[in-house]
Copies of this chain bind each other. A is one copy, B any other.
Amino acid sequence: MAVTIKDVALRARVSIASVSRALHGTGIVTEKTRLRVERAARQLRYTPHGVARSLITRRTNTIGVLLPDIYGEYFSELIRGIDRAARLRGLHLLVTSSHGDATEASLALRSMSGRVDGVLVMSPYVDAQLLGNALPAALPTVLLNTPDDTARAPAFMIDDYGGAKAMVEHLRGLGYGNIAHITGPEGNYESAERLRGFRAALGPLRAAKALVLPGAFTEESGYLAGRQLALVTPRPDAVFAANDVMAIGCLFALTEAGIRVPEDIALAGFDDIPIARFVTPPLTTVRAQTTELGRQALEELARAIEAPDTVSCMKRTLGTQLVVRASCGGAARSARRGTD
């Protein structure tokens, strides 16, 4: 049986109220009793029961994080940003991931309810509609890269559309005329946005003719797309993968097929995961501020929790940055290390 505040009170010969006051530092307590309580607590190895405390204070100091799937460096970066910010504020993180469909997401959210002070939802498949009735109305929520920007909650997004558009414009500026695209998974919001940016940069005519290969944000899918690409005639002179890991998978397939990057075909990715600059050739990509996204989202959530009455529906789109390395030839043809 765990040691409770009662045991401490008994040993220190004071009331449980005094124990609480002495340990929590609040309230007025004599130096003498404080010392006595502290000694008793130490001897008994007392740690307050978080659950009981939460019940009375109505604060769990925990925020729920709902992620689509923990996979690859992208999510590592995201969680890093969230975790750091949370730690700074003394918040715990109740993480759940890999929810495939809306039902699972909804279930996960419900099971969190009453255990968290707020939730951070990254759910590229789920719209706010569903969220609305999975969550108790009053629970502070912040959305991450959600498809639905009409949601009645703050939302933080990466500028997928703008980033993709800028990249493809960059490629066109370098003289590439036949640009292919490897998409993310079907139905994924970010995937769709990047595709939309790709098409916008090409213009309707070229977009209609452009080769679009289906991918799934995994190395494997990028590799398979690369293999297809190697067989296509006429071969595109550039390929823009919807994320870095697919670009790397694709790069491998191309290299394997004897197609040189960037001499025979230019290659670009999206995200700027740490490893992108360490492949050969270093990957030209779009830097998404993934860690920053996580940090800002958590900060906003913390703010919403502090001031529950001020309902904010603020939408914030984090800009991206073109990171030009060697994989697209052009200005950065030499294999310099992209410290940017």
Interface residues of A (CB under 8 A from B): 1-3, 45, 47-55, 60, 62, 70-73, 75-76, 79-80, 83-84, 87, 90, 92-98, 110-115, 133, 136-138, 218-219, 222-223, 245, 248-249, 251-252, 255-256, 274-275, 277-280, 282, 335, 337
What's the nearest-Cβ distance from chain B to residue A5, in Å?
11
The complex places the Cα of A84 from the Cα of B100 at a distance, in Å, of 12
A50 contacts B278, C-beta separation under 8 Å: no
7 A-B pairs in the complex with CB atoms less than 8 angstroms apart? A51-B114, A55-B55, A70-B76, A72-B73, A245-B274, A252-B278, A252-B280
User: Residue on B with the closest CB to A246?
Assistant: B278
B279 contacts A248, C-beta separation under 8 Å: yes
A2 contacts B248, C-beta separation under 8 Å: no
User: Residue on B with the closest CB to A254?
Assistant: B280
Q: In the complex, which residues of chain B have a beta carbon less than 8 angstroms from the beta carbon of A1?
A: 138
Q: In the complex, which residues of chain B have a beta carbon less than 8 angstroms from the beta carbon of A54?
A: 51, 115
A278 contacts B223, C-beta separation under 8 Å: yes
What's the nearest-Cβ distance from chain B to residue A117, in Å?
11
With contacts A55-B51, A114-B52 known, is A45 near B274, CB below 8 A? no
User: Residue on B with the closest CB to A65?
Assistant: B95
Contact of A248 among B93, B252, B278 (CB under 8 A): B278
The complex places the Cα of A279 from the Cα of B280 at a distance, in Å, of 8
The complex places the Cα of A274 from the Cα of B222 at a distance, in Å, of 13
What's the nearest-Cβ distance from chain B to residue A80, in Å?
5
The complex places the Cα of A102 from the Cα of B172 at a distance, in Å, of 53
B219 contacts A274, C-beta separation under 8 Å: yes
The complex places the Cα of A102 from the Cα of B275 at a distance, in Å, of 29
With contacts A55-B51, A75-B76 known, is A278 near B45, CB below 8 A? no
